[in-house]
Amino acid sequence: MNLILLGPPGAGKGTQAKRLTADLGIPQISTGDMLREAVREGSPMGLKAKSYMDAGALVPDEVVVGIVEERIQQPDCARGFMLDGFPRTTAQADALATMLDKKGLKLDHVVCIEADKEELVKRLSGRRTCRQCMAPYHVLFNPPKKEGVCDKCGGELYQRDDDKEEAIRARLVTYESQTAPLIAYYEERGLLRRVNGLGTVEEVYERIKQAIS
């Protein structure tokens, strides 16, 4: 199965992807996680990406399209994959369509997780992320068993640089202007599955399973 998880920052894409990937046996491909990894390694691409990310802007299309194109060639994607945070512009969606066409693949579902702005800001401002496995936590809504430590891998939890108030606001504006048009794009192609992202992590998970079954 080839899936896209679409939705504003903080909607729960990463949270749900971590569960779905275990359940469906297909890898999560998060361009955000891959870019943060490049930043951490200090690669030239990471250094270039960091300024865009910290400002809440999008990294140039050609950079992320290149990352995804390379990633979906990997053997673990042979049975399908789940894109989290890609595509984010119409140009990226068109590039993805071309990429899949070339491989004789198609998309099965585009799951759009929806939540209102007030909820998104609450979720992002209390988020903590594992440095090692990138799992997202929340100080109130989804706390780890031991403060500051990842339940899954024991890694250290930190606050992402773009989870500060100013960057959060900028990311929400970027989403509305550049990514939200993809909702209509995929609706026209009959692929869009809207999912209410409010409620517990478990409730949202059940809705997604329903939407893709």
List of residues contacting ligand AP5 (CB under 6 A): 7, 9-15, 31-32, 35, 52-53, 56-59, 64, 85-86, 88, 92, 123-124, 127, 136-138, 141-142, 162, 171, 199-201, 204
| Residue 160 falls in the annotated catalytic set | yes
Interface contacts to Mg ion, rule CB under 5 A = 13-14
Closer to ligand AP5 by CB, 25 or 66: give it: 66
CA-wise closest residue to 57 among 210, 181, 170: 170
Count, residues near Zn ion per rule CB under 5 A: 8
How many other C-beta atoms can be found within 10 angstroms of the C-beta atom of residue 92? 22
Query: Smallest distance from the beta carbon of 168 to ligand AP5, in angstroms?
Result: 8
3-state secondary structure of 195: strand
Tokens matching residue 48: 């270039």
Which positions from 128 to 167 touch Zn ion by CB under 5 A, shown as an x/- string? --x-xx-x--------------x-xx-x------------
Region of 29 on the Ramachandran plot (φ > 0 left; ψ -120 to 50 alpha; else beta): beta
CA-wise closest residue to 53 among 25, 68, 31: 31
| Residue 36 falls in the annotated catalytic set | no
Tokens matching residue 53: 């990310």
Instruction: Spot the catalytic one: 36, 123, 127, 128.
Output: 127
| Residue 128 falls in the annotated catalytic set | no
| Residue 127 falls in the annotated catalytic set | yes
Q: Residue 110 binds which entry of Mg ion, Zn ion, ligand AP5, none, with Cβ cut-offs from 5 to 8 Å by kind?
A: none
- Is the C-alpha dihedral spanning 196, 176, 123, 110 positive or negative? positive
Query: Smallest distance from the beta carbon of 188 to Mg ion, in angstroms?
Result: 26
Contact criterion met (CB below 8 Å) for 89 and 31: no
Region of 85 on the Ramachandran plot (φ > 0 left; ψ -120 to 50 alpha; else beta): left
Tokens matching residue 203: 């409730």
Strand-pairing partners, residue 58, are: none
Instruction: Spot the catalytic one: 36, 50, 128, 160.
Output: 160
Q: Residue 182 binds which entry of Zn ion, ligand AP5, Mg ion, none, with Cβ cut-offs from 5 to 8 Å by kind?
A: none
| Residue 131 falls in the annotated catalytic set | no
126 binds Zn ion (CB under 5 A): no
Closer to ligand AP5 by CB, 26 or 68: give it: 68
User: How many Å apart are CA 209 and CA 213, to the nearest integer?
Assistant: 6
- Residues near Zn ion (CB under 5 A) are 130, 132-133, 135, 150, 152-153, 155
| Residues identified as active-site | 13, 88, 127, 160, 171
